[in-house]
Structure 1
């Protein structure tokens, strides 16, 4: 099992904020990211580090307000890994939400994190890009040809010609119209997972993360209470932990797969990878970094007070 480790969190100053740059980059965040990298880089099953989750949702009308902070955090952590010979070179990427407005959409976000505002700075761009998206949520879409949302997703990212791996870091719609199975309402058939691993999609996407492993009781209990047999807007689990009071510490937790867990397994087991080339002969067809979108500031044009040349007092304590 491989893990994608988040460098940010919901605690105060633990993630890029909704403030305008450069204030959206909290003073403690860089050190936090470095400490997490040092703690986890020793594990060989760490697939990558995520520098942030949906920071564009913090500024829904205009992603350019805080995107430079997110890009700078990516750059800082990539430089930290690159400058330390003892650290395994684990890729640093970012996860974006999927809004659709003029200054916050698939195109501008994908291009901004793949591009370099300074062409000579090898650390500026993300090394992978994740998109949290929920499309084709209708229960009646049984074939990928009927899935307009997935078809648009494919055509959009094919046209973006990303030079880094692109993943769906959250996918898996809920719908009250999905069938009841073994007493559990609205069980997802997970056709999306099967579509994502079709050959045409694998040319563009590097897979995805089915959301989510276990239903979160705190989020779901108001609309679908434990043991989560009814439909609820937050009942995203492939299963759940029992008993309800378990905490993995004082009370042992037992995982209980729901029927949609097995539905997902069916889709994954049906995937045919026989047409994939071996890694030792793989040649990327996309090697030219995209042009940065209009309206997003260059990192070099911003005075970053976290940088040592501007904020001597802070770094004087953290050499």
Structure 2
């Protein structure tokens, strides 16, 4: 497949500047791509737990919370990734997870963990004591980054395959539906598949608003906590998404007639700081398939793209497939590299 555009990278000091010869929006001309080398790495959690896949990480207070494949609980870790406690356990009863919780959210006093098997949200104290749970509507199954909770205890869930006209549901603290919002996103692949491709990643920014981006449609949206759309930014025509979108369009066009086709995701993970939003796209690479090793930095107020970072390991080699990331401070990043099962730390410049 031939790319619909060409990308040239012009060196500027230690960074590079994006120059699009065709097919890219003019607003992305001159965006710097900065190589970022890991400052440290950790191979196992708590000297014992080797992670095959980490779904979600969240820093709250002095602790980093994460969930990983094969472990039916949420880990609470200190800065050295030593285990302080685990929250939940394996099983099907109250306070137990039937599989690893691929989505969770931590507030100032509670941990909300999603149990996909029975489609329920379980609530624990920060010490790991089970408090209560509620089941979600069967049509409200969620994926990673699909759960957030505000300071009043309202729960926001982003469904994998929305069956309502909206893809985000707001529930009260008991799990009762309050409202739905987030219009279904239109795609160029197929009208029939628009609903299937409407899963969103969501995250709360303080107590101000909910930030979302589509898994398969890279539209960033900012909603009030009452569901009013405040702002949006479409990243589809950036070179970090446009080639994958073209690949997806070709794939659906070629395979749709022969039966069901797999959903293609464009975004792997998101994180925020006080002033920035960070997005990890799943980029198409004509030489060796897809990669997840670039970090897009957006201004949180304007949602404009500021710069990108090409992530390198501690030896200076490009990462291949990052599955989760979190900022432990405004400029300190930790991420999980699925390819070798290692946690890498980074210090952002500035």
Q: TM > 0.5 between the two?
A: no
* TM-score, normalising length: structure 2: 0.27
Larger-Rg structure: 1
